[in-house]
Structure 1
């Protein structure tokens, strides 16, 4: 039972680490990119206008990269709403220019509009500010939900260990009473249980954390192989996630030892007072 709880807690920790990394990626993408829409006009080559706009924007201070997307790429982006069938050639689909900026020293506000104000085509600039607050709230919700689940499972594991320690004391009460009669202090008896449950918790923690690491690795591989399919979850973990299994095993051992000590100590006091 303890190994299962450690497995779930460790897997939740991997999920929290992945959620934290993904949330940072969401906010970084918003703050490090601007989207410019090139509105198609009558008699104009929208693809050529997008390329010309990208070349001009690339010269602005604070711009680190510019990519002009052609009609085929624009159709792919709108296909979830318009379908994947061939669209009419005269359908006015805006061209997009993805502008990567230096988040520490971005271009001045309105610089892109001023730069392209004299061009014969119209533009719309989206700096993603209207999405930033919503994405930040969603990111925080994902982070704290995962951390809350880890905390809940930790408390559940402590409760299970405390119950097991009390059951173990009840089964060996004659030994504890004999030790008490020969003068052994309560801390000696609780120390024996604490040591025993520390190693039991360590074994359970190692088993559960290794199983969780294998499950997380399998989930990450499945997500990478799916090519971004929406029904296959993707788990992206950094190198810091390697610390989760050994930390989970050690924390499980410490929780088991402390829970056993607390439970046995309270039971001894209740019986001998």
Structure 2
């Protein structure tokens, strides 16, 4: 109950702040926080080019994803670590477990180590963290869709471990500002729905379990950490598609099996990918990424840190 109330409250604050700024016609952000740098660790949700050939698990059109959108809202940039930047996030990364998909993605735990080894966090640095997508996916796939108590325990454990990495950044790394999001509603993804309604509903509960475990682990870090529940924001987009110009919330717009290989030339014939929710069966389209960045953190982040809700 507590975590559900927290998720609703934080989302309402973010949307209210964003709407107020938009209504004023402001193209920049004014707040008590003036970020010096943005840094990121995470999974495919935040991957901006750590994958093979610098591609991303979405429609590769060169536009910002949500982490870059947040940085842009504060007139800052974010580049992948393999280009000399500060984003280590990579698709297929699990929280602590090894990637078994063949992509050799370093775990989020390893990414945090890389970040802390690469730089010293300053008082105006902002670290963005995402996790959960690959852990939920891997556990469900390993169980062949037969979700058991062991599956649920493994996902919850991953959520706790993700929260511990947030704590590590704050307590060991000295991070003053950490933006955290968990996994969105994979039960409503094309991948989840392919298992059938009953299993899809269980996958949804796994996503909730991961996010709740994260919240429980970071519950006393509010001075330094903002959490946004991407599942709540995703549900708003999926349930009110017309409001956001979404014509298709069920079908992937990409025609290739490998997420990294999707480009504007590998889409469904005649499709406008800006009106699709999903790029492939698990990953969102670029425009939906940017909407999440603006609606969840970007325009209201400084105010949320200022008032320490």
After TM superposition, the score normalised by the length of structure 1 is 0.19
Higher Cα Rg, which structure: 1
Which structure has the higher relative contact order (CA within 8 Å, separation 6+)?
Answer: 1
Greater fraction helix: 1
